[in-house]
Chains A and B, each alone.
Chain A
Amino acid sequence: MDENKAAFEPRIIAFVCNWCTYAGADLTGTSRIKYATNVEIVRFPCTGRIDFMLLLKAFAAGADGIIVSGCHPNDCHYTSGNFHARRRWIVFRGLLDFLGIDVRRIHYYWVSAAEGAKWAEVVNQTVAEIRELGPYTEYKKVANYIEETEAAHE
């Protein structure tokens, strides 16, 4: 790992479901497991409720990586929300990849309420991988762009 990458602290946004992953992350804390502090958690009732636009908004707002995590299959609090989400992510990933958006920066996990240790692990792993990829500057550049008619933007 070169020096620049070591100095770079990735900003990770995690979209998690309330019933499994959020509780799991809570358990990580109460179990006093130490893990990377780069993650900001946004809690949703269910992975099925996570609009794909939120992922794009996270990148536009400066995220370098994204975690999407919810209940394991058959464990959804609403029976099938995670199944619907899974199908949506399959389609969405395909489209993003075709557009050249870096799908390696979006990590999907199932983390249950009992998997406090796994949460620490997936965050650490995501941070390490995003650190390796570096900041997502190509997306940020586009996000802040408005017109090429002013000298300031040249």
Chain B
Amino acid sequence: MSEATLLAVFEDIDPAANAIEKLHELGVTDENINVISGVPVAHKMLGRPHPPTNVSRLSMGGAIAGFLFGLFLNFGTPHLYNVPVGGQFFTPIPPGMIILFEMTMLFALLATFLGVFLDSDFPNYQPMEYVAEVSDGKIAVFFRCAQQEALKITETLNKLGAESVRPAEARQL
């Protein structure tokens, strides 16, 4: 069964939300729908499920790694070669707190940043389905459906206020 990928462009959130509801009715599951927008649109508005993200987990992982690295710097490296300095503990705890904090934060921030890259598959310069109008505030819904249902869905969406519904084609952004 061949599939078609269609892309419907809407002026506003409401018609887009309706369209998505309609699509659900027409048997297009959430897995086969994606929405592209120029501003972040809350999933509830469109009646979409909460999109999963690993970013927070990665942040946490980064924080732990950073903490461990801080531990290594402050409590490990002095043991690699011992240099005493006046009136200080060899591996002092209060200054260690600073090292631990900074390293934890640095690694957490780096991991978060990288998390965005990993989760969003950045950077990606491959041709992708996209319409430039999205950055003008339009909302694009693109979905996969069976080839034979494409026409029907197109008509339905047009009725719901889609500015255009057309087969999505991957192009160079």
Q: Do A and B bind each other?
A: no
